[in-house]
Amino acid sequence: MPYRRLPNTDQARIRALKAVVAKGDTYNVYDLAVSLKVLTDARNFLVKFEAAHSYYVECFERQSKAGRKHQANVKTARLYISHFIQVLNLAVIRSEVRTVHKEFYGLDMRNNNVPDLSTEAALAEWGRKIVEGESRRISQGGIPIYNPTIAKVRVHYDIFMESYEKQRNLQALTTRSLETLASMRSEADALILDIWNQVERKYAEVMPNEKRLELCRAYGLIYYYRTGEKEEIAK
């Protein structure tokens, strides 16, 4: 015998609920395989669940779209900040900038390595340190670093920070919308299980089995055949 399987995705849950609601819209209430109460519950819940799912999809798509542009900003900011630090270190090696002045930037005076800029949080932190450090050094009479200038670095850093904050906000919205959707899944599953149980009880005596399964499928029930089962039935 084939076995049924409850939906395991949100779209499948929505399809299952829509199937029974569609029956309620076209059948006389006395001919339905489910109670009026569960039909009403399904109709009311579907509206809320579908809205929550649509909002999550919208939030995720906005985040993804903004994310593509944001990654370009990340790449450019990382390039300029890394390049500025390398040029600063070369100036220190040539004695054009005093080693002790690296403290203005929070850089290690013992080596000329570029800090780890692999994460966006690190990029935000080091971008701020570099911009503030160059300003402090110049205010004390230091010669500005060129190619790139701190002004150019700051432009790309500010662009990055703007998209960084926007992306964080979009991620927070996506996370909250997903949490709201996830909190509704257990109710959806319980409701679908109740509907499917009622439908199967209604048609339990219908023969042959394929006719019974056809009636149940009309209410959204999903059945799966085990390996080789279809072939055996066909024989």
Query: Is 128 part of a structural domain of the chain?
Result: yes
- pLDDT (0 to 100) of residue 151: 97
Q: How confident is the model at residue 31 (pLDDT cuts 50, 70, 90)?
A: confident
Query: Is 52 part of a structural domain of the chain?
Result: yes
Query: Is 232 part of a structural domain of the chain?
Result: no
The 3-class secondary structure across the chain, one letter per residue, is CCEECCCCCHHHHHHHHHHHHHHHHHCCHHHCCCCHHHHHHHHHHHHHHHHHHHHHHHHHHHHHHHHHHHHHHHHHHHHHHHHHHHHHHHHHHCCCCCHHHHHHHCCCCCCCCCCCCCCHHHHHHHHHHHHHHHHHHHHCCCCCCCCCCHHHHHHHHHHHHHHHHHHHHHHHHHHHHHHHHHHHHHHHHHHHHHHHHHHHHHCCCCCCHHHHHHHHHCCCCCEECCCCHHHHHHC
pLDDT tens digit string along 144-167? 999 999 999 999 999 999 999 999
Query: Is 116 part of a structural domain of the chain?
Result: yes
Q: How confident is the model at residue 229 (pLDDT cuts 50, 70, 90)?
A: low
Q: How confident is the model at residue 230 (pLDDT cuts 50, 70, 90)?
A: low
Domain that holds residue 122: 3-224
Q: How many domains is the chain partitioned into structurally?
A: 1
pLDDT of 1 > 80? The answer is: no
pLDDT of 130 > 50? The answer is: yes
- pLDDT (0 to 100) of residue 235: 36
Query: Is 235 part of a structural domain of the chain?
Result: no
Across 123-147, average pLDDT: 95
pLDDT tens digit string along 107-121? 999 999 999 999 999
Query: Is 230 part of a structural domain of the chain?
Result: no
pLDDT of 50 > 60? The answer is: yes
pLDDT of 182 > 70? The answer is: yes
Query: Is 231 part of a structural domain of the chain?
Result: no
Query: Is 146 part of a structural domain of the chain?
Result: yes
Q: How confident is the model at residue 227 (pLDDT cuts 50, 70, 90)?
A: confident
